[in-house]
Each structure stands twice: as C-alpha cells, then as structure tokens.
Amino acid sequence: MFGAARRAHHRAQEEMRRQTAERNAREAAERARQAQEDAMRRMQEQAAQAQQLMISQQAEAYRKQAEATIQAAQLQIKGFEEREERQRQATELERKLAIQSQVSSARGGQAASLQVAPGSETAKTAGTQAFKRRGRQRLAPIQTTAGINAPASSVLNV
C-alpha cells in the first residue's frame, strides 16, 4: 500500500472515525435529551405531589373550618329553637291568663241575682194542736216473756 491506496485507506478510516464520532455524538445528545426529559418528568411529578399534598392540607383545613362553622350554626339554631319554644310557652301562658282574667272580670261584673224566696204558707200552730189533730195510734202490747223460759223480772227489754 503505497501512495494513493494508503491515502484512500486513511481517508476511509477517517470517514469511519468521523461517522462513529457523529453517531456517538448523536447518541450522547439523545441520552442527554432523555436524561433531561426524565429529570423534567421527575420534577413535574414532585411538583404535582407537592401541589396535591398542599391541596389535601388545604382541603383538610377547610373541612375542619366548615365543620366548626356547621357546629356553631347548629348551636345557634338550637338556641333559636329553645328561645322560640320559651316564647311560644310564654304566649300560651299569656293567652290562658287573659282568658282567666276575662272570666274573672266577667264574673266580677255580674250583679248578684239572688232573690230571697217568700216563706211557704205553712200553718203557724203552737203547742199541742198539731198533735191533737193526729189520730191516736194504737201500739201492740209488748209481751216481754213470750216464748222465753225465764221469769219476767230477769228479762229487761227483749
């Protein structure tokens, strides 16, 4: 290999080296691009996880705040209901007292309508005249010792 053949061989070798270098450069660029894309993807995933964590923390805080607000509102509603019930009872009591007052004042305003009835027409007799008018009633004789085997002196009112 002399002269031109040697130079052609060197040129072919140089061309192969150049093509290998270009291929290696392209592969290195592709690997770098892949590495950069992987790094970007990891950063985006981490950012998404951080954002998700922050959102879940905010949601938890909001949920706790909402529960506290709901509980406070329920206490207020309960207080309003109790106040309304007391007011209803007071109104009912006032109504009953008003009715009693009306009944009392109506009774108090009534005029006494008592009238003394005249005496009955009974005969005014004194003494024994009423007894004389009655007829004599005969009493049956009392047999104190009838049917009893005892002396009359030992039997008292039998």
In a domain, 120, yes or no: no
Per-residue pLDDT, 107: 78
In a domain, 18, yes or no: yes
In a domain, 140, yes or no: no
Q: Provide Rg for the chain, Cα atoms.
A: 66
Tens digits of per-residue pLDDT, 52-99?
999 999 999 999 999 999 999 999 999 999 999 999 999 999 999 999
In a domain, 88, yes or no: yes
In a domain, 142, yes or no: no
Q: What integer is the mean pLDDT of 94-105?
A: 90
Per-residue pLDDT, 141: 56
In a domain, 60, yes or no: yes
Number of folded domains that form the chain: 1
Give the ranges where the chain is alpha helix by DSSP (H).
4-109, 129-133
Gap between the Cα atoms of 75 and 104, Å rounded: 43
In a domain, 42, yes or no: yes
**pLDDT for 40 beyond 60:** yes
In a domain, 22, yes or no: yes
**In which domain, by residue range, is 39 found?**
4-106
Instruction: Kindly give, in sequence order, each residue whose CB lies less than 8 Å from that of residue 148, ignoring residues fewer than 6 positions away.
Output: 155, 158
